[in-house]
Amino acid sequence: MSGTSLDAVDGALIELDDGPVAVRTAAFVSHPLDRALRDELESLQSPGADELARAALSANRLADAYAAAVASLLAAAGCPASAITAVGAHGQTVRHRPELGYTIQLLNPARLAEVCGIPVVSDLRAADVAAGGQGAPLAPAFHAQMFRHPIERRVVVNLGGIANVSLLPPAATAQAVLGFDTGPANTLLDHWCRRHTGAAFDRDGDWARSGRRDAALLAIWLAEPYFELAPPKSTGRDLFNVDWLERSLAARHDAAALAPRDVQATLVELSTLTIARACRGFAADRVFACGGGAHNRFLMERLAAHTAPMPLASTQALGVDPQAVEAAAFAWLAAQRVDRSPGNLPSVTGARGSRVLGLLAEPRPRD
């Protein structure tokens, strides 16, 4: 998959056992996204000239980038394409408007299947949206299979471009798994860092750590109505984008006096505070983080401060590379599609019921 941050294509090769669910990540790769493709995908987040043709061409290029990740996975695992049941391919979200009944993930799955010689499951959100759901987040179903504990109340936090939480009640209870997008994480942090430092991201959060949080700006951001919406809810760059950031800065009196590093520090505070609210509201026993942001030391420190006394760790403590979790989730969703098993959780997305997710693109017949 390529997430909201638009920084890389992540791929995970997973094995699923029959019977009680057991998942093993056999290999993981992360390929930086080509700069020109990243810029074009970011541009396609907003209406523009000739966008239908540009979107189609970008879908082709993204399929080729996914195919390169598949090839790397197979090489790393010493595994032939013939041994793979399916590729789960998320595509690049360029519009997400479930309240209007649609979500768009750019990808050419037929091209990907043709290049790889492997069936491809894509368009994984549309069936949930058609059933009245948000189409997101989808990872909580996978998190429940992987990380739910018999007696502990756990939260799994995905620190991607957008942050989302999976609220996992003890498996011994009949309580439903819940989850929702809490707000921005890496997407705005990476944008602000690129704009002011030229670096692709704020490594370890050192630049944010050097800044000072601004209470007035934070108050403006926290007044965003999305944060007060009751779940089910999901969001993305349609709301939390550069324009949103610029408008909120303009609303801050004397914003020009703020150092860019202060804005970065305050963005970290916004992300961690809104995540922590969800964790505290669930009264979790433990919190586990995954996604690229789990490697941002300052972000994790601030999240730990806000979630205390609930212990915080990355999913590495549960034996799963935090960077691989999201890609593994979409591999698992592909397996659900192949098995004709539901992939969504109506308690999370608000859909009218469980649905088999995704469309299947078949390659040329195997010899």
For the chain, domain boundaries: 8-135+324-361, 139-318
Whose CA is closest to 118, among 338, 340, 352, 343?
A: 338
Rounded Cα distance, 201 and 187, in Å: 10
Average pLDDT of the residues of the chain:
95
CB proximity list for 247: less than 8 A, separation 6 or greater = none
Residue 90 has pLDDT above 80, yes or no: yes
What are the structure tokens assigned to 317, written together? 């403590």
In one-letter notation, the amino acid at residue 100 is L
Other Cβ atoms within 10 Å of 305 Cβ, number? 13
The confidence score (pLDDT) of residue 303 equals 98
The confidence score (pLDDT) of residue 24 equals 84
Q: How many residues does the chain have?
A: 367
> Which of 8-22, 25-39, 171-185 is the least confident region?
8-22
Residue 367 has pLDDT above 70, yes or no: no
Rounded Cα distance, 248 and 220, in Å: 7
Mean pLDDT of 259-269: 98
**DSSP type of residue 356:** -
Mean pLDDT of 1-13: 90
List, for residues 99-119, the tens digit of each pLDDT value: 999 999 999 999 999 999 999
List, for residues 19-36, the tens digit of each pLDDT value: 555 678 889 999 999 999
Distances (CA, A) of 182 to 165, 268, 363: 7, 13, 38
Q: Of all residues in the chain, what percent carry a pLDDT higher than 70?
A: 98
More confident residue, 18 or 194: 194
CB proximity list for 94: less than 8 A, separation 6 or greater = 41, 44, 45, 55, 104, 105, 106
Beta bridge partners of 18: none
The confidence score (pLDDT) of residue 7 equals 86
Residue 255 has pLDDT above 90, yes or no: no
Residue 357 has pLDDT above 60, yes or no: yes
List, for residues 320-344, the tens digit of each pLDDT value: 999 999 999 999 999 999 999 999 9
Residue 165 has pLDDT above 80, yes or no: yes
End-to-end distance of the chain based on CA atoms, in angstroms? 28
Q: Are 8-135+324-361 and 139-318 in the same CATH fold? A: yes
> Which of 12-21, 233-242, 261-270, 348-357 is the least confident region?
12-21
* Cis peptide bond prior to 137, omega within 30° of 0: yes
Mean pLDDT of 247-259: 90
Mean pLDDT of 260-277: 98
Whose CA is closest to 118, among 60, 70, 62, 56?
A: 70
The confidence score (pLDDT) of residue 54 equals 98
The confidence score (pLDDT) of residue 42 equals 92
Whose CA is closest to 325, among 138, 92, 69?
A: 138
Of 3.30.365.10, 2.40.50.140, 3.30.420.40, 3.20.20.140, the CATH number of 139-318 is 3.30.420.40
The confidence score (pLDDT) of residue 21 equals 58
Helix (H) or strand (E) holding 128: helix 126-130
* pLDDT bracket for residue 365 (50, 70, 90): confident
What are the structure tokens assigned to 219, written together? 């108050």
> Which of 17-21, 73-77, 155-159, 204-208 is the least confident region?
17-21
Mean pLDDT of 75-82: 95
The fold for domain 8-135+324-361 equals: Nucleotidyltransferase; domain 5 (3.30.420)
Rounded Cα distance, 327 and 40, in Å: 22
